[in-house]
A and B are shown apart, each in its own frame.
Chain A
Amino acid sequence: MYEFDFVKPTTLADAIAALGAEEAQALGGGQTLIPTLKQRLAAPAVLVSLTGIGEMQGIELGEGQITIGGATPHAAVAAEVAAAYPALAALAGNIGDPAVRNRGTIGGSLANNDPSACYPAAALASGATIVTSNREIAADDYFEGMFTTALEDGELITAVRFPVPEAASYQKFEQPASRFALVGVFVAKYPEGVRVAVTGAAEDGVFRWSEAEVALSADFSPAALEGIDCPAEGMIADLHGTAAYRAHLVKVMTRRAVMAAAG
């Protein structure tokens, strides 16, 4: 790692002020950023830790919605939303491994927007609201492509608000070495309709599979997906799988998610 200064503010206001410095970078749980720094792929002058800010921690279970503080680790989400939103808890409880889940945070994952990360699929399929230090962003407007989001410099995710669906499931086909999603599909059924978000598959990062959404909104069953195929165009192709293979997996994982959610 290149050298950097480290500060650990205890309030959001102090964190925002610290991020105003030249070449400052926010540090969540560090489970992606620290490996990136070790490879010298980033060289911030100052790291601003978000782990000491009480107002960014914790989970609030409200009427029909769940609000998760931006600096809340995956392990807390897995433990605390299990009854209120089991599919979200299951997703959080399957990210990385237990030690990673004790450090990695929901805000860090969404700010990084790794094209193979799990949380973007949950946020997009749930129509979540990304609450930042200066505004609220609908998930549909938030994800702008691989490692790219609507966040501006110095803007922090303070919380994420999830409307609780009637039924949901996340199905991840793991890349066995990294345990990131080779393809992950989150299906969530709301009174207004079904939303299907796919991670791991596309070159532009997480996306909604709208054709499947229309079919599943009319008939929430695996049979509704017959005759629908996800196009291979724009899918990631690498040593782990071709674009056609990923496109095929999108349908398989969607079907599994519908079966799990409907069951």
Chain B
Amino acid sequence: MTQVSMTVNGQPATGEVEGRTLLVSFLRDQIGLTGTHVGCDTSQCGACVVHVDGKAVKSCTMLALEADGAEVSTIEGQANADGTLNVIQQAFQDHHGLQCGFCTPGMVMSAAALLKENPKPTEDEIRHYLEGNICRCTGYHNIVKAIMAASGQDVAVLAAE
């Protein structure tokens, strides 16, 4: 076992891990942040997306020890300081951007990464960016709409299906 230390949502987090411990296992099983989900465990679905040093990564396909010393953000760190939902989360609620909710943590984290790089994405750019996030309820349309709304753009241009 090796000691690993990182900052998670602004708080220091330390634990003992094996070489093979995945970042997602460390987050969920050792520090109890179960908002990050494991969907496919094969880096296809994106339910496990977190940010490591500001970059979106699939935490099921990164070793915990690779994040030693890193700044990690998860879905638990996304709400505003007063506990209210942030702009992206609120837009997902307002536009019904989730059904069962399993993919939502990854969708929100990917959306946050997208809007940081590209504050006013087009619909096509949003869809391209979400290629690595799968919603098995197939609620993509409202997810795209929520991200458009979160970026401050008019969603009326998207068909109301």
Q: A: which residues have CB within 8 A of B? A: 1-6, 8, 27, 30-31, 34-35, 37-38, 46-47, 49, 51, 75, 96-100, 102-103, 179
Contacts and interface: CB of A to CB of B under 8 A. Distances in A.
B76 interface: no
B110 A38 contact: no
Contacts of B43: 31, 34-35, 99-100
Given A97-B131, A98-B132, A31 B20 contact: no
Given A6-B2, A31-B61, A99 B110 contact: yes
Question: Nearest 10 pairs between A and B by C-beta?
Answer: A97-B132, A6-B19, A102-B55, A1-B20, A97-B131, A99-B56, A99-B58, A34-B61, A4-B19, A6-B65
Contacts, number: 74
Given A35-B42, A35-B61, A179-B131, A8 B55 contact: no
B41 interface: yes
28 contacts: A2-B20, A3-B19, A6-B20, A6-B63, A30-B61, A30-B63, A31-B43, A34-B43, A34-B62, A37-B20, A38-B41, A38-B42, A51-B66, A96-B132, A97-B133, A98-B56, A98-B113, A98-B129, A98-B132, A99-B43, A99-B58, A99-B132, A100-B43, A100-B132, A102-B55, A102-B56, A102-B57, A103-B61
B99 to A, nearest CB: 22
A241 to B, nearest CB: 21
A156 to B, nearest CB: 17
Name the residue among B41, B62, B66 with the largest chain A CB count within 10 angstroms.
B66
A179 B46 CA distance: 15
A151 B18 CA distance: 30
B57 A103 contact: yes
A102 B49 CA distance: 12
Contacts of A47: 19, 63
Contact of B65 (A8, A35, A37, A100): A8
A3 B63 CA distance: 12
Given A98-B131, A99-B57, A100-B58, 4 more contacts: A3-B20, A6-B63, A49-B66, A99-B43
Contacts of A98: 56, 110, 113-114, 129, 131-132
B68 interface: yes
Name the residue among B55, B110, B129 with the largest chain A CB count within 10 angstroms.
B55
Contacts of A27: 63
Contacts of A6: 2, 19-20, 63, 65
B49 A34 contact: no
A38 B41 CA distance: 9
Contacts of A100: 43, 58, 61, 132
Contacts of B20: 1-4, 6, 37
A47 B20 CA distance: 9
Interface in B53-86: 55-58, 61-63, 65-66, 68
Contacts of A37: 20
Interface string B28-46: 0000000000000111001
A34 B20 CA distance: 9
Contacts of B41: 38
B68 A75 contact: no
Contact of A8 (B22, B68, B132): B68
B66 A99 contact: no
A2 B129 CA distance: 33
Contacts of B131: 97-98, 179
A8 B58 contact: no
Contacts of B49: 99
Given A49-B66, A97-B132, A99-B110, A5 B57 contact: no
A5 B42 contact: no
A104 B91 CA distance: 31
B147 to A, nearest CB: 13
Contacts of A5: 19
